[in-house]
Every structure is written in C-alpha cells, then in structure tokens.
Structure 1
Amino acid sequence: MTPFSKTLMIIGALIFIIGFLMSFLHFGKLPGDIVIKKGNTVFYFPIITSIAVSIILSVIFYLIGRFR
C-alpha cells in the first residue's frame, strides 16, 4: 500500500467521523452566528463556528507537526 493511499484513507475516515459527530453535536448553530430571515430568503454567516473550527484545526496541525 502506498503512502498516498494510506493518507486518503485517513482523510476519508476523519471526514466520516467529523460528519457523524456534527450530526449529533449541532456544531453549526453556536451563539454569535448571524442568521437573517426575510421572507423566503435566509442568510446564514457562521462567524463563531468558523473561528472554532479554525482554532481546532490549528491545534491539530500543530500537534501533527510537533510529533512528526
């Protein structure tokens, strides 16, 4: 098995786990996210969710780089 195929399988497993957890944790509806509803139109801007995801990914990539 090539290193590329292992990397793809790990990325696929991580995406699956994250998607599974997000369906139970309601991660996209944090306080501070902007939702504007007018008529049939909904504008959703997840500011706090974006910041939280950025911090989590920064910590994960820092740890991966640290132990590599």
Structure 2
Amino acid sequence: MPNIPKLLITVGVILIVLGLLWQVGGKYLALGKLPGDIFFKKGNTTFYFPIVTSIVLSIVISLILYIVGRLR
C-alpha cells in the first residue's frame, strides 16, 4: 500500500510531461494528420477517423512497454 501514492505521483508527472511535449511537438510532428487517416467533409457533416495515427501510437506504446518489461 505505501507504494500507491508514489506510483500515482509518478504517473501524474509522466502525463504532464507527455502533455507538454504533445503541445510543443504538435507544431513539428503532425500526429492526427498522417497520410491514411480517414477524413470526409460534406456540407455540415465532418467525419474523421485517425486509423494510421492509432496504429503508429499502438506500435510506439507496445515498444515502450516491451522495453520496460525487458528491463525488469
């Protein structure tokens, strides 16, 4: 039980850092606007499905979790 507050603080700090990187990196890295993302606009209706962005993020997160698992 004593490790839970430390874990929550660590996760919170990581999320803040990732959020800041996403804000700054959004100018240089066009996540969400990759070729292959589905975007339709017709009249007042807009449909957007970031399929390629989802695949890229899934691969990156899988690699990070794999590396963290190997270090344990």
TM-score between the two structures when normalised by the length of structure 2: 0.78
Deviates more, 1:23-32 or 1:37-46: 23-32
User: Mapping of 1:9-28 within 5 angstroms?
Assistant: 9-26=9-26, 27-28=31-32
Partner of 2:37: 33
Q: Percent identity?
A: 49
Unpaired runs of 5+ residues, structure 1, are: none
Unpaired runs of 5+ residues, structure 2, are: none
4+ residue segments displaced more than 4 Å: none
Deviates more, 1:33-42 or 1:23-32: 23-32
TM-score between the two structures when normalised by the length of structure 1: 0.81
Task: Read off the aligned partner of 1:43 and give its amino acid letter.
Answer: F
Aligned residues: 68
Counterpart-to-counterpart distance in 1, 2:10 and 2:17: 11
Deviation string 1:10-44 (CA, Å, 9 cap, x unpaired) is 22222222222222333221111111111222111
